[in-house]
Amino acid sequence: MATLKEVQLKISAVKKTKQITKAMNMVAASRLRGAQSRMVGFRPYASKFEAVLGSLAQSAGEGSSPLLIAREEIKRTHIILCTSDRGLCGGFNTNLIEKAADLAQEKIAKGIEVSFTAFGKKGRDWMRREKRTMVDQHLGVVGGTFGFNVASTSGRRMVTGFLENEYDEVIIVYAEFLSMARQIPVIKQVLPIPPLEKADEALQADADAPYLPEHITEPSPEALLGELLPKSVDVQIYRALLETSTSEHAARMMAMDNATKACNDIIQSLTLAYNKARQAAITGELMDIVGGAEALKG
């Protein structure tokens, strides 16, 4: 049985931990609100962009840009892995890294060379530890307030790499924000750009816009598409970063909430132990006094 003093120290230690986890929970909650509003702010741009791209692709025809054509033989794959910079967010990063590692394993088994770009420190550390080929790393992006230019810088690099045959395909691994309680790692192909949604489907997504397929375009649809396709890569990356940031904060909120609850449980059981020990000590002292008084009487 621990002494009274020891239990007391333990209780105050756990209480301090609880204060920290609670504060982290609240910080994550407020950051989550910010990240979510950024996601909402991006939606009109993204949906409009896709609609325009879809209709352009239709009038320009398939195969009108090298970015749309899948390579027959894939020798080199590039994986963009989005993770957070900081830990204490449950299995968030582990899940993402595992997903990327599985994907890489699959590719390597087929004899494909795999290289990486890291967004976030956790992913970078993993790549270093495992001695993977890391082409590029971006820290301080996920979870912070980054601008679209981060995505477009990286997007430009991917497009150049793809066109210069450095990579035959580019894949992004990120955490999709489904709800406060659910964020799942997903794999999406970035390059070659997967077949575009046709204008009719895009129309349904943006129902209030009366969409007329016959546009006058300036310059030609092909040229315009050539300008827009690289941007669609940026849009993809930007969306992945936003999703990952939002997911990170949500994951941390959950993890810290659980930690705070666990602290409460521990405090409760320790307090119980403390009270018991104190009672036992008091009873012991009483027995002594009573015993002493009896002896004097005797």
Partner 1 sequence: MAENIKLEIVTPEKSVVSEEAKIVMAPGTLGEFGVLSGHTPFMTGLKLGTVRYVDTAGKERFVFVSGGFAEALPDRVTILAESAERRKDIDIERALAAKARAEDRLSKAGDDDVDFTRARAALTRAIMRIRLAETPRV
| Interface positions with partner 1 (CB under 8 A) | 38, 41-42, 44-46, 48-49, 52, 56, 147-149, 151-152, 209-210, 212, 214-219, 224, 227-228, 235, 238
Give min distance, CB of 227 to partner 1, in A.
5
Give min distance, CB of 211 to partner 1, in A.
8
Q: What is the largest CA-CA distance in the chain?
A: 116
Closer to partner 1 at the Cβ: 41 or 140? 41
Give min distance, CB of 235 to partner 1, in A.
7
Q: Tell me which amino acid residue 197 is.
A: E
Closer to partner 1 at the Cβ: 111 or 210? 210
Give min distance, CB of 222 to partner 1, in A.
12
φ and ψ of 73, to 5 deg: -120, 125
Question: Edge-to-edge strands of the sheet including 133-138?
Answer: 133-138, 113-119, 76-82, 169-177, 183-191
Cβ pair 225, 196 in contact under 8 A: no
Closer to partner 1 at the Cβ: 52 or 104? 52
Dihedral of alpha carbons 80, 82, 85, 87, sign:
negative
What is the residue whose two structure tokens read 């992006």? 141
Give min distance, CB of 135 to partner 1, in A.
16
Closer to partner 1 at the Cβ: 185 or 230? 230
C-alpha to C-alpha distances, 36 to 180, 227, 230, nearest whole angstrom = 11, 29, 26
Q: How far apart are CA 295 and CA 293, in angstroms?
A: 5
Q: Tell me which amino acid residue 247 is.
A: S
Dihedral of alpha carbons 214, 219, 225, 229, sign:
negative
Does residue 263 carry a catalytic annotation? no
Q: What is the DSSP string of 132-159?
A: -EEEEEE-S-TTS---HHHHHHHHHHHH
Give min distance, CB of 39 to partner 1, in A.
11
Closest CA to 253 of 174, 187, 183, 184: 183
What is the number of residues in the chain? 298
Catalytic residue among 60, 79, 82, 89: 89
Closer to partner 1 at the Cβ: 148 or 274? 148
Closer to partner 1 at the Cβ: 4 or 46? 46
Q: Strands, E, within 41-112: which ranges?
A: 76-82
Q: Which residues contact 132 (CB under 8 A, 6 or more apart)?
A: 104, 114, 115, 116, 126
According to DSSP, the residues that pair with 185 across neighbouring strands are: 175
Active site residues: 89
